[in-house]
Amino acid sequence: MKTYQTSEIKNIAILGSSGAGKTTLTEAMLFEAGVIKRRGRVEDGNTVSDYFPVEKEYGYSVFSSIISVEWMNRKLNFIDCPGSDDFAGNVVTSLNVTDTALVVLNAQYGLEVGTINQLRYTSQLQKPVIFVVNQLDHAKADFDNVVSQLKADYGEKAVLVQYPVNCGEGFNAVVDVLKNKMYRWKPEGGVPEVLEIPEEEKEKASELHQKLVEAAAENEESLMEKFFDQGTLTEEEMRMGIRWGLVHRDLFPVFCVSAANDMCVRRTLEFLGNVVPYVRDLPCPVNTDGEEIKPEVDKPTSLFFFKTTVEPHVGEVSYFKVMSGKVHEGDDFVNADRGSKERIGQLFCAAGQQRAKVEELVAGDIGATVKLKDVRTGNTLNVKGVDNKFNFIKYPEPKYRRAIKAENEKDTEKLSEALQRMHEEDPTWLIENSKELKQLIVSGQGEFHLKTLKWRLENNDKIAIIYSEPKIPYRETITKAARADYRHKKQSGGAGQFGEVHMIVEPYVEGVPVPEIYRFNGQEFKVQTRDVQTYDLDWGGKLVFVNSIVGGSIDTRFLPAIVKGIMARLEQGPLTGSYARDVRVVVYDGKMHPVDSNEISFMLAGRNAFSEAFKNAGPKILEPIYDVTVSVPSDRMGDVMGDLQNRRAMIMGMESDRGIEILKAKVPLKEMGSYSISLSSLTGGRASFTMKFASYELVPTDVQEKLLKDYASTQKDED
Characterise 135 by phi-psi region: left (phi > 0), alpha (psi -120 to 50), beta (else): left
Alpha helices (runs of H) in 428-507, residue ranges in sequence order: 447-459
CA distance 99 to 126: 9
Q: Which fold has domain 8-281?
A: Rossmann fold (3.40.50)
Give the mean model confidence (pLDDT) for residues 266-291.
Answer: 91
CATH 3.30.230.10 region(s) of the chain? 479-618
Answer yes or no: is pLDDT of 46 > 90.
Answer: no
pLDDT at 719: 47
CA dist., res. 626 & res. 696, Å (int) = 9
User: 259, 269, 271, 256: which is closest to 173 by C-alpha?
Assistant: 256
Residues β-bridged to residue 489: 498
Q: What is the pLDDT of residues 564-588, one digit of tens each?
A: 999 999 998 878 889 999 999 999 9
* Average confidence (pLDDT) over 10-18: 94
CA nearest to 364, candidates 394, 393, 324: 324
pLDDT at 716: 63
Residue intervals in the chain for CATH 3.30.70.240 = 623-703
What is the fold, at CATH topology level, of the domain defined by 400-471?
Alpha-Beta Plaits (3.30.70)
Bigger pLDDT: 56 or 211? 211
Domain 302-382 is found in CATH 3.90.1200.10? no
**Rounded CA Rg of the chain:** 32
Residue 462 near residue 426 (C-beta atoms within 8 A): no
- pLDDT, position 479: 94
- Candidate from 41-55, 162-176, 701-715 with smallest mean pLDDT: 41-55
Give the count of beta carbons closer than 10 Å to the beta carbon of residue 361. Answer: 29
The answer, yes or no, to whether residue 24 has pLDDT greater than 70, is: yes
Q: What pLDDT, on a 0 to 100 scale, did the predictor assign at position 197?
A: 95
* pLDDT at 265 (0 to 100): 94
Which of 34-38, 144-148, 244-248, 615-619 has the lowest average pLDDT? Answer: 34-38
Report strand pairing: 542-547 vs 583-591: parallel
Q: What is the pLDDT of residues 640-668, one digit of tens each?
A: 999 999 999 999 999 987 668 899 999 99
DSSP state for residue 112 in the 8-state scheme: -
pLDDT value at residue 717? 59
Residues 494-514: what's their mean pLDDT?
92
pLDDT at 281: 87
Q: What is the mean pLDDT of residues 262-278?
A: 93
CATH 3.40.50.300 intervals, the chain: 8-281
Question: Residue 179: what pLDDT?
Answer: 93
How far, in Å, CA of 244 to CA of 237, rounded? 11
Tally of residues, the chain: 719
Task: Summarize the confidence of residues 6-30 as an average pLDDT.
Answer: 92
pLDDT beyond 70 at 560: yes
Rounded distance between C-alpha atoms, residue 353 and residue 348, angstroms: 11
The model's confidence at residue 493, banded by pLDDT at 50, 70 and 90, is low
Contact 240, 269 (CB under 8 A): no
| Mean pLDDT score, 411-437 | 91
- 52 in the Ramachandran plot: left (φ > 0), alpha (ψ -120 to 50) or beta? beta
What's the whole-number mean pLDDT along residues 552-574?
A: 93
Q: Is 491 exposed, middle or buried (0-12, 13-18, 19+ CB in 10 A)?
A: exposed
Q: Residue 14 above 50 pLDDT?
A: yes
Domain with CATH 2.40.30.10 in the chain: 302-382
CATH class of 623-703: alpha beta
pTM for the complete prediction? 0.82
In tens, the pLDDT along 348-378 reads 998 887 888 999 999 999 999 998 988 989 9
Per residue in 287-305, pLDDT tens?
999 999 999 999 999 999 9
- CATH no., domain 479-618: 3.30.230.10
Among 459, 456, 458, 427, residue whose Cα is nearest residue 443: 427
CA nearest 529: which of 519, 543, 516, 510? 516
Cα-Cα-Cα-Cα torsion 374, 380, 381, 382, nearest 10 degrees, comes to: -150
* Residue 612: pLDDT over 80: yes
